[in-house]
Structures are given as structure tokens and as C-alpha cells.
Amino acid sequence: MTPASRRRGAPRLAFVTLGCPKNTVDSENMLGLMVRSGFRTVADLAEADVAVVNTCAFLGSAVRESRDTIARVAELKARGLLRGLIVTGCLAQRDGPKLLADFPEVDAVLGTGQWGEVARAARHVLGGGGERIVRTEYPGGALDSLVPRALSTPRHLAYLKISEGCDHRCTFCIIPRLRGDQQSRPLEDLVEEAERLAALGVRELNLIGQDTTGYGTDLPGKPTLADLLEALDRVEGIAWIRVQYTYPRLWSDRLISVWGSARRVVPYVDIPLQHIAHDMLRRMGRAMSARDTRALVQRIKAGIPGVALRTNFIVGFPGETEEHFEELLRYVEEEPFDHLVVFAYEREAETPSSGMTPRVPLVVRRQRRARLLALQQRLSRARLACRIGERVTVMIDGPAGRGPAANPDAARAPGRAGGATLYAARTAGSAFEVDGGVAVEGEDLRAGELVEARITGSAAYDLFARIERDPEPELVVIGGRA
């Protein structure tokens, strides 16, 4: 299709989203606005009239990925395959006018708080407006319940952004500058959106925010995350409710109680601890002692039957000694986590930690990350091997090929001749796209379906299973709860 023929119809839009699910929701809202404004979406950037790159800037590696992506899309415009290029998101908020200077092909830069202006900016660019746009006056993100969302996730699951921004000031984190302070959506709005999503066929809701346990602290009456979970637990049609990004300091006994007793809230806790050595927690500005952190993990495990824990750790933070790191290794061995992400500290010039000393050499940071990941892989492999023969409930995410799932190596080979169809699936203890899953042998399974399966094999982070089909229950009882 030539640029001239494209101009005769509705303008075509291509979106590139980088970073976390919170960025995904922002993109879905921007897409909804642009479709309502008359744009038509296309998957191929080379077929678009205008492209939007929604960027991430959480770490230096994310900045590099964002800038590389902008450069690749800018090359398409330089070749005459695009008429407009708009950059949004966290890197836009952070660098603003610098992106115009670095990338002459960029027509507009919209910060995190200006996401609602994307359709107007695109019309300006396509209308021949010569002025390049930079809008980064205030940080934020998509929280407007009246804006249409064009869901980009599989139809059986969706993200529900409950808040934006963060009131914490961890010394390594730039998020408050990029997203602003805590802004929570009213509880009633969230319940209404959950009901709309359920009516569309969504089976799993994933609650997200920079700090989900801080939900409601800025709202009249100060509703809590526990209040929200109780309300969402009554939404018919939703099978699983998953909560991500919980900040340790704001967990309460009531939240644990509600989490453990709710019918639809899965026993899955995403709680970035960042470290366990007291000196490191203090230097990171985590506002919790090592003793309190350890005690909280124990309370969660005791109060939420069958809970799967996911956490993040940062190694090589300024001042981290070999003794601090060894303490972290011992903790992971003593208090195993189902899912563990390890970051080698990246110095961010605009955070308090950038000036801290002594700095840990890059080679040591990378070595420590590799050592901790190797430990986690060994522990995970042994833990999953013990589950062979167990009967589990899984949610089907979609087809994954053909072959015998009892053999992990064969299960990794989609398209293998013979055997039943393989489906990508998850237990309640794994989040979509970020955790290990279950490769399931079965036939005629639908995305979003909850089925019983028998575990037949395991790898370092994944399980393999065969379907043991029973009629799907209305509500699956999780972790032995009524």
C-alpha cells in the first residue's frame, strides 16, 4: 500500500508499548481515544500513517531499549513510510525536549500526564502542523474511567489499574518523578469497570499500580485495598483476581485475612522486598527493618493458605558487602520464593542512591546476580519436581503446539508430529507472561477455561501436565478455602 492510497481512508495507527503492565493500560486508553477519534489500528509499523511509542525509563537498560525503539521507528519515517511519530510514557516525561533534539523525526513528545492528548497531537501532525509538540507539565497516567479502552491482552484476562504514582521515596527509584504521587481511583469506579470487563468475557483481573497496598490513602474516607478486594470478590463472572506490586510496609492483618478468605482472590502475593540485610533496607529507604520484613513474610504465609510468593531483589546496591549478599543468599534458601526476579543495581543519576558510596563494581554486581539466580533455579527445580503427580486447577491461555507434555524437552517443540495439542496454561500461583507456566496436553480447550490437570513433568520454572477433565465449577476453591 502506497502512502498516497493510505491517505484516502481513515488514518492508520501503529502502537509500540514498552515496559510494565501499567504502561500497557495507558496504551489501551490511548488506543481507545484514537479509535474513537477515527483512527484505524494496524500491526505493521510500515503500514501506518502515524506511530506512537509508549516508552519506559525505570532503569538504564529500559531507557536504552526505549531509545533504540524510537530510533528504529524514526528510520521508517525517514524513509517516507510514516507521516508522524509520537513518543509518550516515562522516557517522554523524563527527557522531554531532549528527545526532539536527539530524534529529528519525532513530531510530538507527551509525558505520562498528557496521555489524553494523543489523538489531538496525531491529528495536528497529520494535518501538516509544522510545530513540534512537547508536553510534560505534570506526571500521571491513565485513570479516567470514562475513556474507552482498547484491550490488548488476550480476551480472557485484563489489567485493572487501581492507582497511579507512589508516595514512597526509595532511594533507587525514579518512579515518583515520572508518575507523581499516589492517585487512587474511586472504589465504585473500579467495581463498575470490573463488571464491564466480566461482561466482555474477562475471567482473570490483574490489579496493578505503583503501590497497590497504598490504594485509597488519598481518597475521601480512605478505603483500603482490603475494602476493594471484598467489593471485587462479589463481581460475577470473574474467576481469578490477582494483585501485583504490593509494597511491604502497608500490609495489614485485615488485608491478609481478606486475601485468605476471599473466594476469587488467588493465593498469589507479589511483594518486592529488594533486600533482607538491615543496612541495605535502610540505605534503600524501604522504611522496614529486616526483622519486620521477615515477620511479614511469615504472617502472609500463615494467613493465606497455599500462597505463592513472588519478589524482587536488588544486588550490588552501593554499600552492599559480601556479608550482606551472603545474608540474602541464606534468606532465599531458608524462605523459598516461588518466583524471584533479581536486578543488578543500575545507577540512575536522578535518584538519591546515585551519589552513595562505596560503589560495587559492575562485574561484582553481575556475578552476584548470577549467583542468586543460580540458587533460585536450583531451588525451583527441586520444588517443582516434588509436584509431579499432583492434581491442579489451571487456566488455559491458548494453544502452544503439539507433542507429549510428559517430556519437557518435547513439550518445548511446538509443531511436533503426534501427541495431543499443547496449551499454555497457569496455576493460580503464576501471573500471565511474567512467571513460569504449565504446558498442558489436551483437546478443544478454550482460552480462559479452568480445567483440572495432572502434573506429569517439570523443568526449572515450568510444569507439564495432562488434562483430567471434569465439568468446570462456577467457582474454583483455591487453597482449601470455602
pLDDT in tens, 104-128: 999 999 999 999 999 999 999 998 8
CATH code of the domain occupying 157-385: 3.80.30.20
pLDDT recorded at residue 146: 77
Angle at 18 between CA 13 and CA 22, to 5 degrees: 100
Kind and range of the H or E run holding 67 = helix 60-78
- Please give the grid coordinates belonging to residue 151: 484491550
pLDDT tens column, 25-36 = 999 999 999 999
pLDDT band at 191 (very low <50, low <70, confident <90, very high): very high
Q: Is 135 exposed, middle or buried (0-12, 13-18, 19+ CB in 10 A)?
A: middle
477 compared with 345, residue with greater pLDDT = 345
479 compared with 323, residue with greater pLDDT = 323
- For residue 442, pLDDT over 70 is answered with yes
pLDDT recorded at residue 469: 62
- Please give the grid coordinates belonging to residue 477: 476453591
482 compared with 205, residue with greater pLDDT = 205
Alpha helices in 304-462 (DSSP H): 322-334, 362-385, 408-411
The rounded distance, in Å, linking the Cα atoms of 395 and 420 is: 18
The rounded distance, in Å, linking the Cα atoms of 140 and 164 is: 7
Residue where the block lists cell 488467588:
266
225-232 and 187-199 are packed helices; what angle lies between their axes, rounded to 10 degrees? Answer: 30
pLDDT band at 289 (very low <50, low <70, confident <90, very high): very high
Domain with CATH 2.40.50.140 in the chain: 391-467
Q: Is the peptide bond prior to 223 cis by the omega test (within 30 degrees of 0)?
A: no
The rounded distance, in Å, linking the Cα atoms of 323 and 387 is: 34
Share of the chain above pLDDT 70, in %: 91
- Please give the grid coordinates belonging to residue 451: 480445567
- For residue 412, pLDDT over 70 is answered with no
Mean pLDDT of 258-275: 97
* SS3 state at 88: strand
Which CATH fold would you assign to the domain 3-135?
Answer: Rossmann fold (3.40.50)
Here the contacts of 398-405 (C-beta below 8 Å, separation 24 or greater) are 398/154, 398/423, 398/424, 398/447, 399/423, 399/424, 400/424, 400/439, 404/441, 405/439, 405/440, 405/441, 405/456, 405/457, 405/464, 405/465, 405/466
Which CATH fold would you assign to the domain 391-467?
Answer: OB fold (Dihydrolipoamide Acetyltransferase, E2P) (2.40.50)
- For residue 231, pLDDT over 80 is answered with yes
pLDDT tens column, 365-405 = 999 999 999 999 999 999 999 999 999 999 999 998 654 44
Provide Rg for the chain, Cα atoms: 23
- For residue 296, pLDDT over 50 is answered with yes
Domain with CATH 3.80.30.20 in the chain: 157-385
